[in-house]
């Protein structure tokens, strides 16, 4: 009687429940891929080159302290958002002091209106500075110190809540796999939570010291590997692995 409540595994479930699990896993996998693409176009372009590197992590969290935030963005993730001539003109204006008079008289305001305001304005609803106000442009023209502590706090709590819920359900489905040793299964299930905490902590540590940039990549990469392992095993046991009957299932539970 003690074992009857555990006699549940992926391979022996009906088509309806397998379809429910599969639909969730597919959608979450697509979402994970979109997150990777989004990272490539934000953090991955911080150094002006496609592909995530430690320099990208450093510039995103610690900052590129030899120049301004605006200059760093124009040389990195925003490089393709304006013609080269306009981009260099803005950078030159920043290096000359970024004063308001030249902002209006040298054509920088017009360049901003043509290339930046579509996203950098209150009506866009995007979490970016509103460049319709000069004080916001002046603020990002100061030395680039990377992500602010307030933005790190905001993004951290969103990731902690959101990603933990994703792995809660992915882990729940994976926990029904019958072909994985218990010790390995338990380790794989708990790994994403451990490395999620490491990943979030590494953002704050990199903000304070650029040498922690490697920890960001390790934390995020290990979470991805855990997700991929649970996803592949779950899909395999639902749709490829032969259906387990009661006698076979009892034998597995007794091991």
Please name the residues in contact with 25: beta carbons below 8 A apart, sequence gap of 6 or more: 170, 173, 231, 234, 235
What is the DSSP code string of 99-134?
Answer: -HHHHHHSSHHHHHHHHTTTTSSGGG--SS--TTSH
Contacts by 185-190, CB closer than 8 A, 24 or more apart: 188/226, 188/229, 188/230, 189/230
Q: How many other β-carbons are positioned within 10 Å of the β-carbon of residue 158?
A: 10
Full-prediction pTM beyond 0.85? Answer: no
Please name the residues in contact with 153: beta carbons below 8 A apart, sequence gap of 6 or more: none
What is the DSSP code string of 17-34?
Answer: HHHHHHHHHHHHHHHHHH
What are the boundaries of each domain within the chain?
4-43+147-254, 66-140
- Note the pLDDT of residue 12: 86
Going residue by residue through the chain, which has 255 residues, state the pLDDT in tens, using 9 for 90 and above: 344 344 578 888 889 999 999 999 999 999 999 999 988 887 877 777 777 888 889 988 998 776 787 887 787 777 778 788 888 888 888 877 788 888 888 888 888 888 888 888 877 777 788 888 888 888 888 877 888 899 999 999 999 999 999 999 999 999 999 889 999 999 999 999 999 999 999 999 999 999 999 999 999 999 999 999 999 999 999 999 876 554 454 454 444
- Note the pLDDT of residue 23: 97
Burial class (CB within 10 angstroms; exposed 0-12, middle 13-18, buried 19+) of 128: middle
- DSSP state letter for 2: T
- Note the pLDDT of residue 2: 40
Determine the Cα–Cα distance for residues 74 and 96; give it in Å rounded to an integer: 16
């Amino acid at each position: 009687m003690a074992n009857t409540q555990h006699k549940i595994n992926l391979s022996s479930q009906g088509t309806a429940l397998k379809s429910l699990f599969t639909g969730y896993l597919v959608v979450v996998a697509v979402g994970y891929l979109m997150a990777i693409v989004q990272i490539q176009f934000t953090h991955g372009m911080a150094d002006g080159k496609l592909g995530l590197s430690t320099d990208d992590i450093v510039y995103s969290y610690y900052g590129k302290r030899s120049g301004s935030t605006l200059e760093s963005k124009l040389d990195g993730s925003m490089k393709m958002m304006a013609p080269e001539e306009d981009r260099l003109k803005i950078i030159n204006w920043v290096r000359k002091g970024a004063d308001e008079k030249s902002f209006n008289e040298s054509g920088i305001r017009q360049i901003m209106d043509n290339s930046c305001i579509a996203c950098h304005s209150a009506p866009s609803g995007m979490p970016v500075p509103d460049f319709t106000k000069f004080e916001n442009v002046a603020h990002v023209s100061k030395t680039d110190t990377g992500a602010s502590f307030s933005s790190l706090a905001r993004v951290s709590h969103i990731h902690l809540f959101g990603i933990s819920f994703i792995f809660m359900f992915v882990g729940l489905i994976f926990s029904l796999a019958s072909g994985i040793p218990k010790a390995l299964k338990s380790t794989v299930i708990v790994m994403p939570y451990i490395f999620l905490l490491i990943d979030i902590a590494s953002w704050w540590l990199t903000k304070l010291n650029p040498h922690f940039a490697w920890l960001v990549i390790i934390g995020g990469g290990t979470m991805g590997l855990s997700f991929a392992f649970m996803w592949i095993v779950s899909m395999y046991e639902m749709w490829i692995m032969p259906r387990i009957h009661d006698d076979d299932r009892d034998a597995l539970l007794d091991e």
